[in-house]
């Protein structure tokens, strides 16, 4: 049976693993990965819009990459989704090992803290890889502009600015959670100091003392 300190740290690590999975699932199911502002360049040029009238041709845009698999850069987006699901899988593996260590003392090092380091680093690696692939699609392939003009044949839409929104940062938070788990697991190896209460020494009476 693990000590109380080890049980506490491994249960905390289990909660963090659950949090990592929840963050990625929420990120994949929401549509706020990228938001931006676009302007209808064709419409503004047709009416020769002034600076004040230009606001009438400006709108907002937001999108989620799972819906782009069948439309834009399908292979890249499939790879991003695959990496994130692999990250979820290894996070669940880490969760199972945290629960195991909280209940039992492992007899193999791969099932103990060393294994937990491995599973969390792998989960963080695949999560970061998926996010970096998506970031490359946004920045280097002008993904926002492609999405804006996806269903437009007559008008040309130009991106004024775009930014990564909270769905993307949830993924970043999931990656960071795994490093926190590694820190908590490392803390489990610390042995808390036990306070030793010294008993007062009983005075010893020798034969010489009895003579007096």
And the tokens for 51?
A: 């600076």
What's the CA gap between 121 and 47, in Å, rounded? 56
What's the CA gap between 51 and 32, in Å, rounded? 29
Across the chain, what does the average pLDDT equal? 80
Instruction: Identify the pLDDT of residue 210.
Output: 47
Q: At what angle do helices 74-103 and 166-188 cross, to 10 degrees?
A: 30
What's the CA gap between 123 and 96, in Å, rounded? 14
What are the beta bridge partners of residue 60? 37
Is CATH 1.10.8 the right assignment for the domain spanning 4-211?
no
Instruction: Identify the pLDDT of residue 127.
Output: 95
What's the CA gap between 28 and 25, in Å, rounded? 5
Considering the entire predicted model, what is its pTM? 0.78
pLDDT along the chain (212 residues), means of 10: 82 94 92 83 74 75 64 74 94 92 73 87 95 84 74 77 88 95 88 59 54 48
The position carrying tokens 């959670």 is 177
Sign of the Cα pseudo-torsion (7, 13, 16, 22, in order): negative
Q: 206 CB contacts (<8 Å, ≥6 apart)? A: none
């Amino acid at each position: 049976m693990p000590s109380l300190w080890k049980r506490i740290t491994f249960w905390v690590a289990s909660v963090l693993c659950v949090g990592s999975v929840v963050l990625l699932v929420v990120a994949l199911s929401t549509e706020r990965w990228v938001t931006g502002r676009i302007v209808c360049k064709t419409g503004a040029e047709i009416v020769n819009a002034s600076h004040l009238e230009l606001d009438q041709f400006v709108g907002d845009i937001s999108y989620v990459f799972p819906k782009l698999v069948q439309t834009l850069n399908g292979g890249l987006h499939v790879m991003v989704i695959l990496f994130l699901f692999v990250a979820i899988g290894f996070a669940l593996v880490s969760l199972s090992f945290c629960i195991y260590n909280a209940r039992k003392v492992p007899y193999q090092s791969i099932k103990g803290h060393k294994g937990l380091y491995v599973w969390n680093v792998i989960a963080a690696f695949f999560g970061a890889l998926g996010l970096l692939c998506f970031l490359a699609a946004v920045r280097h392939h002008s993904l926002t502009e492609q999405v804006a003009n996806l269903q437009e044949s007559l008008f040309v839409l130009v991106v004024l600015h775009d930014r990564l929104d909270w769905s993307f940062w949830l993924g970043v938070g999931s990656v960071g959670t795994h490093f926190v788990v590694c820190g908590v697991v490392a803390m489990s190896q610390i042995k808390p100091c036990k306070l030793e209460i010294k008993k007062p020494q009983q005075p010893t009476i020798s034969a010489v003392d009895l003579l007096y």
